[in-house]
Amino acid sequence: MLVKQIWTGNAYRNFNYLIACGETGEALAVDPLDHGKCLKAAKDEGWTITQILNTHEHHDHTGGNDAVVRHTGAKILAHRNAAGKIPGMSRGLSAGDVIKVGKTVELEALDTPGHTLCHICLKSHTDQPALFSGDTLFNAGAGNCHNGGDPGELYKTFSQQLARLPASTLVYPGHDYIENNLRFTLDREPDNRQAAQLLGKLAGQDPEQAYVSTLEVEMQVNTFFRLTSPTVIAELRDVFPDLPDQPDARTVFIKLRELRNDW
Ligand SMILES: [Zn+2]
C-alpha cells in the first residue's frame, strides 16, 4: 500500500490522500477537495484514480468529486446513509465492508458517527495498520459536532472503536490542526510533558511534510483519549463546578467537546 498525503494549503487546512496499489498503480482518493493537486499527484506517481472515498458529506470533503470524476471516471464511495447528501454515489458503505484497490490493497470501512451521523473511517489491512480518520479523529483532537453531529455518538466512536485499534496504527486525519490541538491539550492538562515536547518539535511544521502520529501517541497527547486523567478532571471542574466527584468518561468527553468549541 502506497500513501500520498496531499496538503491543500487552503484556509480549512484540509489534507487529501491517495492510497495506491504498488503493483497495478490503481489509486483511491480520500476527500479529494483539491482536485488539481490530487490529479497532478496521481499523474506524477503514474497512478490511476479509480475510486473516491468521501469520509463524510461536508463540502470541504466532497467539493472535488465532480472534477475528479470528470477526469478519471472514478466511482464515489461513502457511508450508505450519505446517499441523499453526496451526489453520484456508486457504493454505500456499512461497517466491515472491504474496499479493494488494485491487487494488493484492502481498506476496511469503520462506521464512525459523531462529527456527522454518516461518517466513515478507513482502516488498512496492513502489518502496520493505517487509519484515514476524516473529521472524526484529528492529531491531538476530535471533530466538532455542530454541523450535523452528536457528541455522545462521537464519544462512543472514540471509546468503542478508535481506542481499541492497535497502538501502532498510523493516523491520517482530514485536516492539519495539530498545533492548535496540542495547545488545547496543554490548556486542559498543563502537566502533559509528551504534549509539550511534541508541540516544541512541531510548532511551525511544514504541512507538506507533516508529522504522522500513531494511536499510541494520540493516547498520550489527545485530551479526548485522556478522560480519566486527574489533571484533566480537576481542570474541567474549574470550568464546570457541578462536575461530579468521579465523573464518568462520557461526561468528561462531552464537556471537553463543548469547551473546545469556544476555545
Ligand atoms: Zn466535516
Residue with cell 495539530: 178
Give the Å distance between the CA of 176 and the centre of ligand 1: 13
Query: What is the reported pLDDT for 263?
Result: 74
Per residue in 213-251, pLDDT (tens digit) is 999 999 999 999 999 999 999 999 999 999 998 999 999
3-class DSSP state of 226? coil
Per residue in 122-141, pLDDT (tens digit) is 999 999 999 999 999 999 99
Residue with cell 464512525: 112
pTM score > 0.85 for this model?
yes
> Could you say which of 56, 79, 119, 176 is catalytic?
56
> Could you say which of 61, 79, 119, 176 is catalytic?
61
Contact 221, 192 (CB under 8 A): yes
Give the Å distance between the CA of 246 and the centre of ligand 1: 32
CA dist., res. 154 & res. 235, Å (int) = 22
| Residue 56: active-site member | yes
Residue with cell 488498512: 124
Give the Å distance between the CA of 154 and the centre of ligand 1: 13
Give the Å distance between the CA of 61 and the centre of ligand 1: 7
Q: Residue 254 burial by CB count (10 A; 0-12/13-18/19+): exposed, middle or buried?
A: middle
Per residue in 22-71, pLDDT (tens digit) is 999 999 999 999 999 999 999 999 999 999 999 999 999 999 999 999 99
Mean per-residue pLDDT, 143-159: 97
| Residue 60: active-site member | yes
Residue-wise burial string across 44-77, b where 16 or more C-beta atoms lie within 10 A, e elsewhere? eeebbbbbbbbbbbbebbbebbebbbeebebebb
